[in-house]
Structure 1
C-alpha cells in the first residue's frame, strides 16, 4: 500500500518543489495515483508502478507529444518507481472535442514509427499494458509483428491459466493464419497510443490521451480499441479521422481482427468472459 507521505516525498524529490497537499485518486489496476499540489500553486499527477512500466509510459508520453497531434500530459520527471506529469482536471468533452480527437488521431498515426513493433525512443522493449507484460520488438511487417507479439503470447498465457481451451486456441490460431491477407495489412507503421480504450481518453474540454502503451503498429488497432469499449461521439471521431486519412476499404470488417489483442489481454487479466469474446472475434476473421 502506497501512502500519501510516500507520494509527497517522491514528488518533492523529482520536481524540486515543496508540497502543499496530496490527495490519493482512484487508480487503475496497475498503479497507485495521486493529485499533488505544489508550493508554486500548480498541481501535478503522480503514479507509482513497476520500474519498466514507468519508463515505458514516460517514453510513450514523450513520443506522442513529439507528434504535436493530440494533447498529452507533460512529463515533469520520473525515477525507478514514480512518474510525475501535468494534472489535467476533467470537465467533460467540449462541443467539437470528438471531431478534434479524430483529426488528431489521424495526425498522430501519420507521424509514423521506424517499424511495426518499434518501442518509443528510449523506451524499453519489455513494456506493459495494464498488468500484462507486452513485448515491443521491431518486425519487417505488421502481420508478423501482430501475430508474434500481440496475439500468440496471450493465447499461451490464457491456455496456461486454463482460461482458453485447446479447441478455442486453435480457432485463434486459424485466424492468425489469415491476418496477412486482410485489407490494409501492408500499410506503413503508424505511431500508436497502444491502449486506446475509453478510460484512456481524458475529456477536459478537449480530449487528452493518457496511460499510453505506445509502439509502432497498424492504425486500425487504436480505432478498434475505441470501438471495443466505446467512446463519447465515436461516430464523429471516425468521420473526422476519415476526412483527414481515409481507412482502407472494409475496415469495419477488420475491427474484430484488431480487437484480438486487447480481448486476449483482458482474458489473461480478468478471465473467461473475455476469452469467449476473443474466440468470437477470431471466428469472424
Structure 2
C-alpha cells in the first residue's frame, strides 16, 4: 500500500494527488505532503475524528484569514471533509525568525484581535460546539468572565478530578476563586477572534521570515487568553509582546492574569496526558488566590 492509498479517495480525486509522503508530528492525526499538478499540499487525516472537528478547523482558518493582515498569513483551505483537511503548503524556515519576525507576529496578532467580533462564543451556529476536540457550550454571550469560569474552567476541573488527574483540593480552591471571576478575567473589553491554541508549535515561520498560523481552535472571547497560551510553553520573544502592546495596548495587570487564562489549556493537558500538568494546574490556582 502506498501513502496515497491511505488518503480518502475524494481528496485524491479532487487534488489529483500524484504521491504522498508521511510527515512527523501530531498526536491525534496523520500528516502528509501530497504532490499535485499545482505543487505540494499539506494534508491532515483523522480517521477516527469526532464528527465536525476538521470542518470546524477549516472554518476557523477561513475566519482568521478574513481578518489577518500581511504580517500573519493563514493557509488556504483546499479540501475539507470529516476525514481530511488539505491546506496550502508552507515552506518552513530551517530556524526561528529574528526580531522583525517577532515584531511582525505581535502586530499581526493585534490586528486579528482588533477586528470586529460579534459576541463571546461560537463562530457560527452551523458548526459543532467544540474547542478542538473538547465539547464546549459555545452559545453566544457577552460575559467573557462567566464563560471562562463556568464553561471552561469549572467543567474541566470536574473532569480532571473525576479522572484522577488532579488533586481534589482543586475543587475547593476554585470555589474560593469563583467570586473573583470578573477580576481574574480582566476589565471588560470587546471580544476578539481567538486562535484558541496559540502555542509556538502553531506559529510557523517560512523561509522568508514570514509568520503563519495553523491548527486553530477558534472562538470569540477575551484576547488575553491567546496571550496567556503564548507564554505557557515559550517560543515567542519579548519583541512580539512589545509590538502587540504597541499596536493594541493591553489593560493594566494583564501579566498577573496570565495564570487564570492558562487554566483551560493546562487542564486539557492534565486530562489527556497526566504527568506534571495536574501539579501545574494547582500552581496556577494558588497563584490566582
State the TM-score, normalized to the length of structure 1. 0.91
Matches within 5 A, 1:137-148: 137-148=139-150
Check if 1:30 corresponds to 2:22: no
Q: How far apart are the structure 2 equivalents of 1:123 and 1:113?
A: 17
Q: Alignment partner of 1:136: what SS?
A: coil
Q: Judge conservation of contact 2:73–2:211 (CA < 8 Å) in 1.
A: yes
User: What is the number of residues matched between the two proteins?
Assistant: 278
Q: Judge conservation of contact 1:17–1:38 (CA < 8 Å) in 2.
A: yes
**Deviation of residue 186 (structure 1)?**
1.1
- The aligned residue for residue 233 of structure 2 is 229
- The aligned residue for residue 89 of structure 2 is 87
- The aligned residue for residue 43 of structure 2 is 46
Q: Judge conservation of contact 2:4–2:17 (CA < 8 Å) in 1.
A: no
Matches within 5 A, 1:124-163: 124-129=127-132, 131-163=133-165
- Relative to structure 1, is the Cα distance of residues 65 and 79 closer, same or farther in structure 2, using a 3 angstrom cutoff? same
Matches within 5 A, 1:175-194: 175-182=177-184, 184-194=186-196
Check if 1:7 corresponds to 2:10: no
- The aligned residue for residue 176 of structure 2 is 174
**Deviation of residue 243 (structure 1)?**
0.6
Q: How far apart are the structure 1 equivalents of 2:239 and 2:114?
A: 19
**Deviation of residue 104 (structure 1)?**
0.5
**Deviation of residue 123 (structure 1)?**
5.6
Matches within 5 A, 1:87-126: 87-91=89-93, 92-95=95-98, 96-117=100-121, 119-121=122-124, 124-126=127-129
Unmatched segments (≥5 aa) in structure 1: none
Q: Judge conservation of contact 1:224–1:259 (CA < 8 Å) in 2.
A: yes
Select the residue among 266, 274, 282 that pairs with 1:279: 282
Q: Alignment partner of 1:195: what SS?
A: coil
Unmatched segments (≥5 aa) in structure 2: none
Q: Judge conservation of contact 1:31–1:48 (CA < 8 Å) in 2.
A: yes
- Relative to structure 1, is the Cα distance of residues 183 and 29 closer, same or farther in structure 2, using a 3 angstrom cutoff? closer
**Deviation of residue 269 (structure 1)?**
0.7
Q: How far apart are the structure 2 equivalents of 1:24 and 1:261?
A: 31
Q: Judge conservation of contact 1:11–1:46 (CA < 8 Å) in 2.
A: no
Q: How far apart are the structure 2 equivalents of 1:104 and 1:197?
A: 16
Q: How far apart are the structure 1 equivalents of 2:136 and 2:34?
A: 30
**Deviation of residue 10 (structure 1)?**
4.2
Q: How far apart are the structure 2 equivalents of 1:141 and 1:4?
A: 47
Q: How far apart are the structure 1 equivalents of 2:146 and 2:185?
A: 15
Check if 1:58 corresponds to 2:61: no
RMSD: 1.9
Q: Deviations over 1:101-141 (max 9, x none)?
A: 00011000111321112x22466242243x54444232221
- Relative to structure 1, is the Cα distance of residues 82 and 193 closer, same or farther in structure 2, using a 3 angstrom cutoff? same
- The aligned residue for residue 215 of structure 1 is 219
Q: Alignment partner of 1:229: what SS?
A: coil
